[in-house]
């Protein structure tokens, strides 16, 4: 059975161009509607909601999205499990900042990260893409055997983490997966080694 991956709905920081990392900001009205549209797309693909495994990043914006999905699909929110490995990349001292602010306060470091994303560790307790990839690989290795069962999976994560999950599933390099689009209004269906995109916007 398939796994459905969605990104949380749009947040206030998304609108402002601020990196949230493992901090949070509330969903916007548009973000709420995106979550509901994604739920409708998932509901069209599954006929039995009694055997759904629902897992989410434990951050506030993903749990808020999960609650909306559950309400629309008809799954008790209490059934949602959380997994720290699905959290967004930790942006360390850059959390809450825009790219321009990062460039001003940390001259040259944004370019250095772009040049070596696998190994560049964001200052102030942040992560590199290698850290995030290891988290994603670990989660996939633990859960992928269960994707082949009769149980449907719904996974709610983040823009960065979601792109890594998609990229690793398709054996992409870091450079390739960093170029993947990260829309809020899309459901990614993982099935038999392929990913089908259900655009909901």
Closest to 60 (Cα-Cα) out of 15, 26, 12: 26
Catalytic-labelled residue, pool 8, 90, 158, 184: 8
Sort 96 into a burial class: Cβ within 10 Å, 0-12 / 13-18 / 19+.
middle
Laid out side by side, the sheet with 186-191 consists of: 81-82, 52-56, 152-157, 3-7, 186-191, 194-199
**CA torsion 170→45→56→26, rounded to 10°?**
110
Is 78 a known active-site residue?
A: no
Cα gap 9→63, rounded to integer Å: 10
Where does the chain show beta strands of DSSP type E? 3-7, 52-56, 81-82, 152-157, 186-191, 194-199
Catalytic-labelled residue, pool 33, 88, 90, 127: 88
Give the count of beta carbons closer than 10 Å to the beta carbon of residue 195: 16
DSSP 22: T
Cα gap 134→85, rounded to integer Å: 9
Is 8 a known active-site residue?
A: yes
Catalytic (active-site) positions: 8, 88
């Amino acid at each position: 059975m398939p796994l459905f991956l969605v990104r949380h709905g749009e947040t206030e920081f998304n609108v402002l161009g601020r990196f949230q990392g493992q901090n949070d900001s509330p969903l916007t009205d548009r973000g709420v509607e995106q979550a509901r549209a994604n739920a409708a797309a998932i509901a069209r693909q599954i006929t039995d909601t009694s055997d759904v495994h629902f897992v989410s990043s434990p951050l506030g914006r993903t749990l808020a999205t999960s609650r909306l999905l559950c309400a629309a699909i008809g799954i008790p929110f209490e059934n949602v499990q959380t997994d720290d490995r699905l959290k967004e990349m930790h942006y360390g001292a850059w959390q809450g900042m825009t790219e321009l602010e990062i460039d001003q306060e940390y001259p040259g470091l944004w370019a250095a990260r772009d040049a070596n994303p696998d190994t560049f560790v964001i200052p102030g307790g942040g992560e590199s893409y290698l850290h995030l990839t290891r988290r994603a690989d670990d989660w996939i290795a633990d859960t992928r055997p269960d994707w082949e069962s009769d149980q449907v999976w719904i996974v709610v994560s983040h823009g960065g983490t979601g792109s890594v999950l998609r990229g690793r599933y398709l054996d992409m390099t870091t450079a390739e997966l960093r170029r993947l689009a990260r829309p809020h209004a899309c459901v990614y269906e993982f099935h038999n080694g392929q990913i089908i995109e259900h655009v909901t916007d």
